Chain A
Amino acid sequence: MYNLRAHVLLCYGGACISSNAGSVKETMEKAIAKAGLQNEVDVVTTGCMGTCELGPIIVIYPEGVFYQKVKPEDTEEIVQEHLLKGRVVKRLFYKKPKTEEMVEMFNNIDFFKLQRKIALRNCGIINPLEIEEYIAADGYMALGKVLTEMTPQQVIEEIKKSGLRGRGGAGFPTGLKWQFTAASPGKQKYVCCNADEGDPGAFMDRSILEGDPHSVMEAMMICGYAIGADQGYIYVRAEYPLAVERLSIAIEQAKKNELLGKNILGTDFNFDIEIRMGAGAFVCGEETALMRSIEGKRGEPRPKPPYPAQKGLFECPTVLNNVETFANIPFIILNGAGDFASVGTEKSRGTKVFALAGDINNTGLIEVPIGMPLGTIIYDIGGGIPNNKKLKAVQIGGPSGGCIPADHLNVKVDYESLQELGAIMGSGGLIVMDEDTCMVDISRYFMEFIQEESCGKCTPCREGTRIMLNILERICQGKGKMEDLDTLEELSRQIKQTSLCGLGQTAPNPILATLRYFRDEYIEHIRDKKCRAGVCAELVYSPCSNECPASVNVPGYLAYTKEGNFQKALEIHLKNNPFPAVCGRVCPHQCEAKCRRNDLDSAVSIRSVKRFMADSIDGYLKCFPEKQNSNGMKVAVIGSGPSGLSNAYFLTILGYEVTVFESEAKAGGMLTYAIPSYRLPKNIVKKEIQALSLYGVKIKTNTKIGKDITIDELRKQGFKAFYVAVGAGDSIMPPIEGIDGNNRVMSGLDFLYKINNNEKIFVGQEIVVIGGGNTAIDAARTARRMGADVTIVYRRTREEMPAEIEEIKEAENEGIKIQLLQNIKSVKSNSNNKLAVEFVNMRLAEFDKSGRRRPVEIETSSFVKEVSLLILAIGQKPSLDDLFDKELVKLNRDGTICCSSHKGETMSEDIFAGGDVVTGPSTVVEAIGQAQRAAEAIDKYLSGGQEEYPWNIMDAIEVKFDPEEEPVDYERAKNILLPVEKRDSYMEVEKTWDRVTACKEADRCLRCEFKKEEEGI
């Protein structure tokens, strides 16, 4: 026996083996031998450590240093540096997602820190292939204790006291199950372990069997002793060959050590365990089906009662527990029921193992106290969502469970709370879905699964699920009908009530949950033939166009730009969006986030190509679509922002005579009065508005509806319909003292309006802007250009800032300070003509309805700062005060107009609305998209509607494209920005590309729309 000074623990879980842990082990051992350390350092292969994404993983003890993604060629360095010289290898440390901060020690990593391991207590710590290691970790002590110190009834009482509930999904109290079986008459009884882990997305049973097989065997023996059984069966999926192999080894070793067989530990207790392999039938996870399968029959369920406790395997009383349930038992016996029951919630004691998978940074296996908030699991342990995407839903409980939308992140994960939300704890698969997941497609996916796995014995499950699947497939293809949704609900109800076993009774759950939380997505598929996630192939032209609120044919104008045919490119763009030069500058370009080229290198710089295309043509007139024949009908648009002007434009295409009424002196709304000219020069706005005037849109400025003229008067003048697009120009002010009537306090919009209107403002030297949205950044960067020191104060963290990332970055480049987790508390004017502003530090508490953590004040953390001007940009709402009588439209609680459809119809049949006045502050392109849909509704109201509107038809792109050719291999072109030192005026910061750069960039497009055209879809 040598005195070992270090242990190298290498994760040998299934995932790490797939990531080449085998070679790592080999080279590690060689490197250790080469360094002559074989008598000082031991390499231990362990079960799953949990962080599957980071594999292969090495933890070196006694220090507990954690190395991730270790490659065989790294082992030499680990041995030479860490084991020989005592210097850690930093480059292999774990890096926190987003911040990239490095973490050295195993137990300092958030992923492990918040966990509590009971069922997984040995996984990742001992070598599962050595029974000695299990025994050294107190293994088989619990068995010894029950055999020598406890009566069977005492064992049952202890389990009952612990509050342990079945971890397979249903949550039945384990102690009761044992008691019922013990009390059933019969000489022969059995203990079965359900390791037929079939729920997609769950792999905890696999990891326990592979990482700590003895704990399950020990628990089965304890159960056998408690109920009077001498035979156990472990039913494992055939898809888990490694688990079967390790279990077989464990059984052999236990037999050799006389821990299995006759007269165990010198008592008169006998017990044997046999492994039975499944054969690929999901339904065998159901208890009665599983037992039939062990009997060698078709795995069809049978009605209950009798329950397995009375008549189970081979018609004998049987306990059937899940792997994880068993893994808890030795801990309870050794540490006492009280210790176990002190973890978790009142009704759900102990811990639960979850398999984190899907769109989450730290995929893997975790064990946490029951009752932990879902948000903590996703963000603190799981590290959040990769690639800056938004969380959409968390699927929990597999095909019997449901999904929980992002606004319920505060839910405590326990049996009861999940059920209230329409999900179940299930076996613990927790699949995180981001914005790119289509909830209708996911429902279809689960139904397909159920349909394939239904054993066919009972009709509701066999036929009902087929009908449901057919309906869901139709909806995904855009062929659904509205009444399908009712049919789905009705079928769900019937299948749940009348199916024979758990599989059928829970089969509709995923569909019901998505219908409950994501009904609007179903409706979009049916009514608008739109799949917002861009998943349902039949409904998606290209990912970029699908994402664009105005549905601009992006591949179209990119292709023509590439060819140098800018006029044709512009024609395609103008059909859907009359503001290419504006959007080429201020659009948040969500299309680029969906660009398939992201998978290859990085997205096509769509916005910059658009900008070049728009700037390259002076007069748009020749590029506008041909107007349909004039129908002589007059429509009034109220508000000349992007939504109002676009609506007027779309209606002009359809042959209407449209007049836009604007209360200000200049047209353009926010484009003219809010967005600063370093971002959007005023001549650009003018150019595009002028083009619309030339096309036929009449604009009347200095005319306020409700004051200068009323809607009724306009009706009398012959206006047949109204589109209200007055925006959201009222600033929301926080309810704090000292801001009302203070001339050193201003709203962000007010500030920007005055600047854009060339009014003089005294700003002083120290300006503080409160808020984290685009208005706050615009105000701050504008103030900075006036020579002041500017600080942005935001109450949450950078990740939650609603402003565009590029804007935030540029603000900082220009020398603006951003103070996070602070808020304003009070304002006082002081003697030297400045403001004494009291700030307070904030911290993030639980998750709120927006899926973000709620900021709360840290008490006694306030401090006062002297400020020359305070700009508040915390939110905006519409101002509809004098516009029209309250009876004409209904308002929502936040002051926006309540529309009866997504096309902007309101309570009054001739009044339509769109843009920020409906959505609250949003983007230019969103406002344009709404204008399109409202134009359709107005046309339908006035003329009965058209089958297809020009902007909904994607014209064939007549640019040669060879799908077999390799895509061009150069990287995304960079934007050209004005050097920071030159940004002291309102000169535009970003420059338009030259022709070569733009055409080359356009050529990077992968033409995702191409295949579809060829197939004629």
Chain B
Amino acid sequence: MGCPCDEKELTDKQKYKQLKEFINESKNKKGYLIPVLHMAQVIFGFLPPEVQNFVAKEMNTPVSVVTGVVTFYSYFKIFPTGRHTITICLGTACYVRGAKKIMEELEKKLGIKIGETTEDKRFSMGVQRCLGACGLAPVIMIDKDVHGRISAQKLDKILELYK
């Protein structure tokens, strides 16, 4: 799966084309709906009804099945997200080491709640039950970077890295 996000912003038409190519490539593989949706989310950033309709049509699957899958898995988003996604780990180890305080501090700093996006579309914020980096608890993940041994004081410096 090539990641197209480094490239320039694509037009919608190009995006659909890209998705269609991916679907055609993998049509013979069994049970390929979820990988297709992963790819669609990489391309579009989220999965609005239009994209779900498109996937359903191209894969010859009822829209209800596609929507059923999209809404079942928390990884799939149906609303647009910010440029950067902050994921606060609320796994047991992080929780025991004070992740709740970090969450409250971030909510205060960014003025948004879990599941929301800042007005300037810079950050979206969500929680995860364990990122598997328990050795560094508490941790947060911003996009694909894991930041470990977080404290409320360190947050400003870390957020600065993401414009």
Please name all residues of chain A whose beta carbon is closer than 8 Å to the beta carbon of B34 when the two chains form the complex: 276-277, 279, 293, 296
Bound Cα distance from A209 to B148, whole angstroms: 21
Contact with A along B143-158 (1 / 0, CB 8 A): 0111110010000000
Contact of A14 with B by CB under 8 A: yes
Total residues of chain A contacting the partner, CB 8 A: 61
Contact of B14 with A by CB under 8 A: no
Contact of B10 with A by CB under 8 A: no
Please name all residues of chain B whose beta carbon is closer than 8 Å to the beta carbon of A296 when the two chains form the complex: 30-34, 69
Q: Tell me, rounded to whole Å, the shortest Cβ–Cβ distance linking A300 to chain B.
A: 8
Please name all residues of chain A whose beta carbon is closer than 8 Å to the beta carbon of B128 when the two chains form the complex: 239, 280
Chain B: CB-nearest residue to A19 = B148
Bound Cα distance from A522 to B37, whole angstroms: 45
Please name all residues of chain A whose beta carbon is closer than 8 Å to the beta carbon of B146 when the two chains form the complex: 14-15, 17-18
Bound Cα distance from A363 to B133, whole angstroms: 10
Contact of A319 with B by CB under 8 A: no
| Contact B68–A18 (Cβ < 8 Å) | no
Bound Cα distance from A298 to B139, whole angstroms: 29
Count class of interface residues, chain B: 35 or more
Please name all residues of chain A whose beta carbon is closer than 8 Å to the beta carbon of B65 when the two chains form the complex: 297
In A251-279, the 8 Å CB interface with B consists of 274, 276-279
Contact with A along B61-94 (1 / 0, CB 8 A): 0000100110011111000000000000011110
Bound Cα distance from A252 to B134, whole angstroms: 30
Q: Tell me, rounded to whole Å, the shortest Cβ–Cβ distance linking A478 to chain B.
A: 18
Contact of A198 among B31, B129, B133 (CB under 8 A): B129
| Contact A359–B97 (Cβ < 8 Å) | yes
Contact of B137 with A by CB under 8 A: yes
Contact of A911 with B by CB under 8 A: no
A18-B148, A198-B129, A358-B92 known; A314+B31 contact, CB < 8 A = yes
Contact with B along A182-217 (1 / 0, CB 8 A): 000000000000000111111100100000000000
Chain B: CB-nearest residue to A275 = B35
Contact of A449 with B by CB under 8 A: yes
| Contact A282–B97 (Cβ < 8 Å) | no
| Contact B135–A365 (Cβ < 8 Å) | yes
Contact of B46 with A by CB under 8 A: no
A279-B38, A363-B137 known; A202+B132 contact, CB < 8 A = yes
| Contact B73–A357 (Cβ < 8 Å) | no
Contact with B along A415-445 (1 / 0, CB 8 A): 0000000000000010101000100001001
Contact of A295 with B by CB under 8 A: yes
Bound Cα distance from A19 to B129, whole angstroms: 21
Please name all residues of chain B whose beta carbon is closer than 8 Å to the beta carbon of A274 when the two chains form the complex: 29
A-B CB pair tally, cutoff 8 Å: 153
| Contact A18–B145 (Cβ < 8 Å) | yes
| Contact B129–A395 (Cβ < 8 Å) | no
Q: Tell me, rounded to whole Å, the shortest Cβ–Cβ distance linking A357 to chain B.
A: 3
Bound Cα distance from A241 to B137, whole angstroms: 19
Bound Cα distance from A355 to B137, whole angstroms: 12
Please name all residues of chain B whose beta carbon is closer than 8 Å to the beta carbon of A356 when the two chains form the complex: 135
| Contact A277–B35 (Cβ < 8 Å) | yes
| Contact B73–A18 (Cβ < 8 Å) | no
| Contact B32–A358 (Cβ < 8 Å) | no
| Contact B134–A429 (Cβ < 8 Å) | yes
| Contact A14–B133 (Cβ < 8 Å) | yes
Residue among B74, B136, B145 with the highest chain A CB neighbour number at 10 A: B136
Please name all residues of chain B whose beta carbon is closer than 8 Å to the beta carbon of A51 when the two chains form the complex: 135
A276-B35, A279-B74 known; A198+B136 contact, CB < 8 A = no
Contact of B51 with A by CB under 8 A: no
Contact of A678 with B by CB under 8 A: no
Chain B residues close to A by CB (< 8 Å): 29-35, 37-38, 65, 68-69, 72-76, 90-93, 95-97, 128-137, 139, 144-148, 151
- 11 A–B pairs (Cβ distance < 8 Å), ordered by A: A18-B133, A53-B135, A202-B134, A239-B132, A241-B144, A296-B31, A298-B68, A298-B72, A355-B135, A357-B137, A445-B95
Interface pairs A-B: 4 shortest CB-CB: A52-B135, A279-B73, A200-B91, A357-B134
Query: Given A239-B130, A442-B95, 15 more contacts at CB 8 Å?
Result: A200-B90, A200-B129, A201-B91, A206-B132, A278-B73, A279-B75, A294-B31, A298-B69, A300-B72, A358-B134, A395-B92, A431-B92, A437-B96, A442-B92, A455-B72
